[in-house]
A and B are shown apart, each in its own frame.
Chain A
Amino acid sequence: MNIITKLAVAASLATALTSVSLAQENLNGLVVGFSQIGSESGWRAAETSVTKQQAEELGIDLKFADAQQKQENQIKAIRGFIAQGVDAILLAPVVATGWENVLTEAKEAEIPVILLDRGVDAPEDLYLSTVASDQVLEGRVAGEWLVAEVGEEECKVVELQGTVGSTPAINRKQGFEEAIAGHDNITIARSQTGDFTRAKGKEVMEGFIKAENGGAEICAVYAHNDDMAVGAIQAIKDAGLKPGTDIKVVSIDAVPDIFAAMAAGEANATVELTPDMAGPAFQALSAYLADGTEPEKFIITESKLYTPADDPQGEYDRRKGLGY
């Protein structure tokens, strides 16, 4: 994608958000600090670019600080924001613990802090709100799609888990199992970790196919993220089967490459983990600054289901522009 289309997509996205921004005129001219974890994944890069676009649209002067995966960098950045006297702080915390001191400093400076993506272990009064997705819900949406898709047919599912012991892996597994509970025609035949990576997703799926009679007995694969699903799709193709038809593919995140697969008929469904954490955050901030409305402590973002009916090619192009 060349730079002109990128700009065009960004502009169209910005237009889509204009309606929201009209209601948040009180944010115009504010200075907001944003301490981002880093750019370790495409989703993270998208979150950064969406946040910057939102801020620009709302007339916010966004001070961006990339912590390169280090908490001490984030703490430094926040202290810097406090010293500069910003009007609000967005924080995507790299870990859950160790924030109490710096959040107290922000509170004493009367700067509201909104957490993005995940919560922290600190007293609730130290921050305004947390904007995050519900990972259990994501798994449940994926499971509910499969339940509706197969109806009463027998369906053997293989599961590509995230990194063993990680919170999203545990939650997304739990949500999916909740959704298929009571539907005895759907069983999870095999479940292994693919470490959230495309390469491991492919390798594990290769193993599953060998173990399940060349893949003939597998009805669907559920991957805890799209990257593993993309790897699994390649493994299915290498085994001479048609992904999306012979083996259904459902996953979570909604990154561009899964839409490319969907457009090619090789993936069936994905649940969006929206990179737009800043939108709800700015909304809450606007309301709070306008009349002191205390927002919910946890603002849950939408877990939207995308299927081939949702213009996958269009979604692919739109998302590519976000830096995925």
Chain B
Amino acid sequence: MKRLHLERLANPQLLALAGVLLINWLLFPNFFRITWQDGRLFGSLIDVINRGAPVAILAIGMTGVIATKGVDLSVGAIMAVCGAVAATMVVAGYPTPVAVIAALAVGLACGLWNGFLVAVLDIQPIIATLVLMVAGRGIAQLITEGSIVTFNDPALIFIGTGSFLGLPMAAVIALVLMVLVTFLVRRTAIGLFIQAIGVNRAAASLSGIRSRMLLMLVYALSGFCAAIAGIVVAADIRGADANNSGLWLELDAILAVVIGGTSLLGGRFSIPMAVVGALIIQAMNTGILVSGFRPEFNLIVKAGMIILILLIQSPLAGRLFTGRLVPAKAARK
């Protein structure tokens, strides 16, 4: 029991997150200060989970896609489309639940479209999802007519800025989604099948796994997650910004999944670790903001940190790591 516990703590993602938070603390001593304000928790750490939520939500869907050896470049654009749909509908006077359901349905439809291109037409995922990546933002601009559609619908705003038990709503949504999806893939055979398709799609088909259905499912899930992220982001700024909502976030989501230990070559995956990956990325962003570095250094600092984290996770580092750990374990026995 104790050994299991230690091994869990020693996993590279949690170590990396702890490391980044530690650096933030060194740069900004008040980093871990959390206060209670207006019925909610308030502090940099809360910012990390709140701001990290959209990428975490994307990463939940992206993990499934990447585990099947695919990639979904369209999630950022889908965010923009779904945010635009939700915003224009509440502005046009539709009830909030209708607007939200419509936006989620649009995201699901976008995901199914990607799944159709990948699973049925057998187009390479990077190309298939590039279609919506480019077209999606255009569609979003058509919906918003190029401007930011600002809304004041309190229920919709609550999704982005409200709080539940003092925690930001966005983080709560990400957490619930993570638990639900993890439960869905681990308590059913879907997780095993996703891995099987990612490792060897030909063998999966010959083993009787309906890989088309499953691919449709993972892309649909990715689109659905993007819709949730799009609604959260729009609700957060009380407006649908077709040009900027989700811009480049597909890359952050892919990075989060990779940091979370899922290989771009498909196969083994972990949704909770992808969420941790998203938190690592956001912890860096927030750290840069509170540190007072000049903005010209943002990308350099971020790139350096990412290289470091990926190096820590590399098989070479893993060997060095276990090479030191093994004798210790033996000694304990």
Contacts and interface: CB of A to CB of B under 8 A. Distances in A.
B43 A202 contact: no
A198 B238 CA distance: 9
B28 interface: yes
Contact of B150 (A190, A202, A260): A260
Contact of A207 (B42, B138, B148, B290): B290
B237 A202 contact: yes
B236 interface: yes
Interface string B218-252: 00000000000000010011110101110100000
A257 B150 contact: yes
Contact of A199 (B35, B43, B161, B245): B245
A323 interface: yes
B7 interface: no
Given A199-B245, A210-B44, A323 B146 contact: yes
A211 interface: yes
B11 interface: no
Counting contact residues on chain B (CB < 8 A from A), the size range is 35 or more
B259 to A, nearest CB: 20
A144 interface: no
Interface in A193-231: 193, 195-200, 202-204, 206-208, 210-211, 214, 227, 230-231
B239 A198 contact: yes
A266 B282 CA distance: 28
A42 B325 CA distance: 58
Contacts of A41: 146-147, 243
A233 B150 CA distance: 14
A204 B51 CA distance: 11
A193 B294 CA distance: 9
B295 A211 contact: no
A234 B237 contact: yes
Interface residues of A, number: 41
Contacts of B237: 198-199, 202, 230-231, 234
B47 A198 contact: no
B295 A161 contact: yes
B296 A164 contact: yes
A39 B140 CA distance: 11
A202 B290 contact: no
Interface in A34-59: 38-42, 44-45
Contacts of A206: 47, 51, 289
A161 B239 CA distance: 21
A192 interface: yes
B298 interface: yes
B82 to A, nearest CB: 15
A40 B141 contact: yes
Contacts of B298: 164, 192-193
Given A198-B148, A227-B148, A260-B150, 16 more contacts: A40-B243, A41-B146, A42-B147, A164-B295, A193-B295, A197-B241, A197-B244, A199-B237, A206-B51, A207-B286, A207-B290, A210-B47, A211-B28, A211-B30, A257-B148, A323-B145
30 contacts: A39-B141, A42-B146, A42-B148, A45-B147, A164-B298, A165-B296, A191-B295, A192-B295, A197-B243, A197-B244, A198-B148, A199-B237, A199-B241, A200-B244, A202-B236, A203-B47, A203-B289, A207-B47, A207-B286, A207-B289, A210-B47, A211-B30, A211-B292, A230-B150, A234-B236, A234-B237, A238-B161, A240-B42, A257-B150, A323-B147
